[in-house]
Amino acid sequence: MLKKLVLATALSLSLSNLTFAEEDKGAVNVAVVNIPLIMSELPQAKSAAQALQKEFEPRRAELEKIQTKGMKLEQDLKTSKDPTKLQRELAQLRSEFDLKAQALQEDSQKKQRDAELELYKIIQEAINRISKERGLDLVLRGESVVFAVDRIDISDEVIARASKLKSVSSKSDSEDKSEKKGK
């Protein structure tokens, strides 16, 4: 609670300082964006999630097969006359499952972070373009704002603009190539 109060106070002071500093030039143009909303509505986010699901589905299916086999071994172990062999096989299966599950989790988390990073770059590019076009002085994350009128929420505009962007890194690569050709 104290942290939020300090943050709100600091934001209030910085906004009032901006207003006083900008009095000669006019009012400060402020907008808010709701990043979680943008991430949930962005077509690139949905297609990235589907791609990740498709990429890791075979490994998840393999884990399910191992788990099913392990459950069958546990059932067989209850009725077995020679449990030692089955116990060793079950221990080996558990070890294999744990190793593959950990690798799957690490790989999928890394890919998800990479995809989110690329999406954040696209969103930031859209915010930068909109801010420049509108002459915005400050853009705040909407989830931190207690109240804002609808007219300063640019989330829908960011979604529309970011939806049209393919990739920030491929855009800057093509710009770099065209600049090199011009020289």
**94-140 pLDDT, tens digit each:** 999 999 999 999 999 999 999 999 999 999 999 999 999 999 999 99
Least confident of 8-12, 64-68, 107-111: 8-12
* 175: confidence class by pLDDT, cuts 50, 70, 90: very low
State the average pLDDT for the chain: 82
Give the list of residues 6+ apart from residue 15 with CB closer than 8 angstroms, or none. Answer: 28, 30, 138
**78-89 pLDDT, tens digit each:** 888 888 888 899
> Taking the domains of the chain in order of start, what are their residue ranges?
26-170
Quote the pTM value: 0.68
Query: Residue 164: which of 111, 135, 126 has the closest Cα?
Result: 126
What is the predicted pLDDT for the residue at 148? 82
Among the CATH numbers 3.40.605.10, 3.40.50.1820, 3.90.1300.10, 3.30.910.20, which is that of 26-170? Answer: 3.30.910.20
